[in-house]
Amino acid sequence: MAPNDPSIPPYDDSAATLRPAVLATGVRVRRGPVRHPLLNRELGILAFNERVLAQAADPAMPLLERLRFICITSSNLDEFFEVRIAGLQEEMRDTPGLLTPDGMSMQQAYTVIAERAHRLVQRQYAMLHETVLPALEHEGVVFHNAESWNAEQLAWAHQYFNTQLLPVLTPIGLDPAHPFPRVLNKSLNFAVELSGKDAFGRDAVLGIVQAPRVLPRLVRMPAELSGYPYGFVLLSAFMQRFVGELFPGLHLISCNQFRVTRNSELFVDDDEITDLRMALRGELPARHFGSPVRLEVSAETPVDLMRRLREESGLTERDCYRVDGSVNLVRLMSLPDMVDRPDLKFVPHLPAVPQLAPPTATMFDAIDHGDILLHHPYESFQPVLELLLQAAKDPHVVAIKQTIYRTGSDSALMDALMLAVRNGKAVTVVVELLARFDEETNINWAERLESAGAHVVYGVVGHKCHAKMMLIVRRATHAGQATLRRYVHLGTGNYHAKTARLYSDFGLMTSHTGICEDVHHVFQQLTGINGELSLNYLWQSPFTLHAKLIAAIAREADHARAGRKARIVAKMNALLEPSVIAALYEASSAGVKIDLIVRGVCSLKPGVEGLSENITVRSIIGRFLEHHRIFYFHANGAEDVYLSSADWMDRNFFRRVEVAFPILDRRLKRRVIAEGLSTYLGDNQTAWVMHSDGEYRRRRPGKTSRNAQMGLLQKFCL
């Protein structure tokens, strides 16, 4: 199916199998009610990461990209433990009688989740060592283990250790004066078993060496020594071979890697905040020393030592992960950039720059001519930056308002905002300080913006500002009369130039009076103290988005009951909110055909007779991270299409500021349907289809192979 085909294809159930993302919940598929019509969230997250890891097993995938997918899985699992598992452990301590939404006790659920996580980690390391690394060696990309070094390699490694590592390493010998150190979250550490007596006559038993994060985890060996075009040595290999030199005069028994993952949620008491930025400044250091949730150790670690490490961390056996190799595979993410082999990577793509029709002098003229839709990463993010830069320099622009959730530590967009301040514009920036893992970056930007003279606010305490909005106010002259005209950019993704090349997102530029007025009202709510303001076009969390969505689903059900065509197609990152799921079940029972494209976790069970037989769920995993949020309702032929920053989750509906905005231009609406929905429903290469028990099966190509992302790349970029 061509990417510009606006028709919605029929569902095709040709599908390899992944294990279910569901606990044993007593579902009776053929007859009778479903006792627990929700799937487990944590198992759904693990199922998503199994789909990500499956990309590394695909021989059609470029080899270095297969390695990247292994690293991405590790990065995802780090956050899974830091946030989701940490939360489960707290709930088991605080409310042990609590049941999970799928009806299991917390203890039962945790056991099943831990077992599945262990299997996933085992499969990940097996894939790395049995498949990807041997294939890389065949291509001349090799990891040199300490055991394999020849005399020349050993001399080079020893010199590197002495000059680059030894001066910054601090060994800690454990004794009553030196208790077990509290290691940083996700830091690389070495437990060194020793024997003998030190200079003070103390018995040496165990030493700990923490590897500073400034040290490279991957070092390239000179090709003339390696014997391969690309030879690499892991930091752990240097340590395994030379760590004894940190403990001179003692006998080295073993050196073992370990890593502790900690609870990384920040606690800021809403009732006691007087300065959110200062409160976060005080909390951020604590993230490195939160409660331990996972212990990773190298596979060869002796049982007694592993028990000691586990006891020091306060963790159980099921929280300990023995791994065959490096305890932090995320650090291998740098390898593809260190290897100049384009044939082992994705073909680079240059995002298309939309041709504005007719050609105009400014972005404002172009928007006045008609709404502009941008589809990233296939189309460039540059028009968004150009709009802001022109606004910063245009003497007719009087004000700019912007939300920032994630933008990166190096941002041309933020530079443009500061340029606008210097040029005398009234600049207001709503910076979300609680964007998880970007808090410090956002605090730094907030301080720089304030120093430049921008008005910086942090939204509403208790409601993260996740909406992606830019509002520009410009003085215009029409028929000799000066007026103020608004221009808006709304998006499904962050104002982040780097991720705009990696994530699929839509952005809309418009001067539509009603939409611009609504965005103005949302900014009023974020920066001032107002009652709830009525919006005519936007659906907004935490006020109307949930209710409007439920109403739109119910209208489709009414159309179906009346014998009219009814259809819902929605694309998002996650679907968890129970009342929305209940509304979808009700609509399915009424005869509404519902197609859901959910990249990550989905708690809805599709295809259950009498409940959801008219619902399909699929997940697209490919080169780009699918990030669109698109909501389509047939609406008795009107075909309502909304784009949004919000997933269908409790937090997005009730604890965040989000917006969903309509696509009003019929031409652009057909584009969104074609490029954002139809082509994905037709994908039979990168799509995984969920069955009623939560099991995902990969669709297999039929006579015609269809890959949504490749089709869009061919349309826009190649």
- The predicted pLDDT at position 410 comes to 87
Catalytic residue chosen out of the listed positions 376, 466, 512, 628? 466
Residue 421 lies in a domain: yes
pLDDT at 436 over 80: no
466 is catalytic: yes
Domain harbouring 339, CATH code: 3.30.1840.10
> Does one domain contain both 308 and 418?
no
Q: How many helices (H) and strands (E) does the chain have?
A: 22, 27
Contact 29, 608 (CB under 8 A): yes
Is the model's pLDDT at 1 over the cut of 60?
Answer: no
What is the Cα–Cα distance from 135 to 142, expressed in whole angstroms?
Answer: 10
Q: Could you tell me if 327 and 371 lie in one domain?
A: no
Q: What is the pTM assigned to this prediction?
A: 0.90
Is 503 within any annotated ligand binding site? Answer: yes
436 annotated ligand-binding residue? yes
User: Both 340 and 367 in a single domain?
Assistant: no
Q: What is the mean pLDDT of residues 26-42?
A: 56
- The pLDDT of 250-272, averaged and rounded, is 79
Residue that terminates a domain, selected from 531, 556, 585: 531
Q: How far apart (Å, rounded) are the C-alpha atoms in residues 687 and 710?
A: 13
CATH (domain of 498): 3.30.870.10
* 197-207 average pLDDT score: 82
591-637 residue pLDDT tens: 999 999 999 999 999 999 999 999 999 999 999 999 999 999 999 99
Give the pLDDT score at 20: 40
Domain boundary among 297, 317, 344: 344
Q: pLDDT band for position 271 (50/70/90)?
A: very low
Question: Quick one: pLDDT at residue 101?
Answer: 83
Ligand-binding annotation for 627, yes or no, is yes
Residue 135, C-beta contacts closer than 8 angstroms, at least 6 positions apart: 63, 66
Nearest to 487 by CA among 454, 520, 456: 520
Q: Which range has the worst mean pLDDT, 8-12, 211-215, 561-565, 682-686?
A: 8-12
What integer pLDDT is reported at residue 133 of this predicted model? 96
Predicted local confidence at residue 703, as pLDDT: 82
Q: Are residues 313 and 376 in the same domain?
A: no
DSSP class per residue in 212-262: -TTS-SEEEEPHHHHSSSEEEEEHHHHHHHHGGGGSTTSEEEEEEEEEEEE
Residue 700 pLDDT exceeds 90: no
Pick from 178-192, 371-385, 463-477: least confident: 178-192
Binned at pLDDT 50, 70 and 90, residue 137 comes out as very high
Mean pLDDT for all residues in the chain: 89
Q: Are residues 219 and 333 in the same domain?
A: yes
- 599 annotated as ligand-binding: yes
Rounded to the nearest 5 percent, the helix, strand and coil shares of the chain are 40, 25, 35
* Statement: residue 357 has pLDDT above 70: no
406 is in an annotated binding site: yes
Each residue of 468-500: pLDDT tens digit? Answer: 999 999 998 877 788 999 999 999 999 999 999
Please determine, for residue 276, whether its predicted confidence score (pLDDT) is greater than 70: no
Q: Write the pLDDT tens digit of every residue in 508-532.
A: 999 999 999 999 999 999 988 777 7
Question: What total of structural domains would you count in the chain?
Answer: 2
The structure tokens listed for 495 are 């104002």
Say if residue 382 is in the same domain as residue 499. Answer: yes
Instruction: Work out the average pLDDT over 300-316.
Output: 93
CA atoms of 632 and 661, how far apart (whole Å): 12
Residue 374 located in a structural domain: yes
Check residue 284 and give its pLDDT: 56
Looking at the DSSP bridge assignments, the partners of residue 602 are 575
The answer to whether the CB of 497 falls within 8 A of the CB of 381 is yes
Least confident of 71-80, 467-476, 696-705: 696-705
pLDDT at 531: 72
Out of 467, 501, 531, a domain closes at 531
Looking at residues 55-62, what average pLDDT do you find?
94
- Residue of higher predicted confidence among 314 and 356: 314
In a domain, 454, yes or no: yes
**Structural domain of 257:** 156-344
